[in-house]
Amino acid sequence: MIHVRTKVQRPAAELVAQLGEFSSATIHEAQGRRGALNSDIKPIDRTMSFCGPATTVVCAPQDNLMLQVGIHYAQAGDVLVVSAGEFKEAGTFGDVLGTAMHSKGLAALVTDSGVRDTKDLIELGLPVFSRSVCIKGTVKETLGPINHPLVFGGQLIEPGDLVKGDADGVVLVKAADVEWVIEACAEREAAEADLREKYRAGGTTIDLCNLVDKLAAKGLLVEE
């Protein structure tokens, strides 16, 4: 088995930047309510956000050997997506590795395990999204794949797919879909801006959300 694949097709930087302008929720809805990672993966600081192509990493539970290897091979702007068996009781990543990532210009770390040194990571300014915060240490023993397709957070992530994270969660956009998803996001934001203006002008949810016929069909009764 080849453990590390270094040839990854990444979307153009301008597409990454354009997608990154939209929220995770907007992207999820605009692409047909697809791509949302499990909701227990959250930022260590709600002001953190990122968007970038995935470098996928598999670690054994409570073992961060391949995470360190992944940092070595990742390119500036990449998001390390690290699967460690959804094991919460381990601090697989902290400020030292955070400094290594930040110094290389990596965009973010997303892991289904735990992290620690969160105060220092927040001060460093590296977006870190994890399943838990845990001080328990790890070993460096087990080899695993890097830049292989990975099932993570309920989604199949391939190297180079785009990942966007913010205060609400993390969403995946397949590399082949990026351009049309950007267009769909822009259309959705325009529609929502129009709705907000109509609400400010006195519009009601039943009218603007086209609920009149649906509620009647369901037999909604209102006592005046």
Each residue's pLDDT, cut to its tens digit, for the chain (224 residues) gives 899 999 999 999 999 999 999 999 999 999 999 999 999 999 999 999 999 999 999 999 999 999 999 999 999 999 999 999 999 999 999 999 999 999 999 999 999 999 999 999 999 999 999 999 999 999 999 999 999 999 999 999 999 999 999 999 999 999 999 999 999 999 999 999 999 999 999 999 999 999 999 999 999 999 98
Instruction: Give yes or no for a contact between 59 and 65, defined as CB atoms under 8 angstroms apart.
Output: yes
Top CATH class, 13-176? alpha beta
Question: Quick one: 88 exposed, middle or buried, by C-beta within 10 A (0-12, 13-18, 19+)?
Answer: middle
CA 61 vs CA 84, 85, 127, 139, 170: distances in Å: 5, 6, 22, 9, 22
Q: CATH 3.50.30.40 spans which residues of the chain?
A: 13-176
Q: What's the pLDDT score for residue 203? A: 95
Characterize 93-119 residue by residue with b for buried, 16 or more Cβ atoms within 10 angstroms of its Cβ, and e for exposed.
bbbebbeebeeeebbbbbbbbbbbbbe
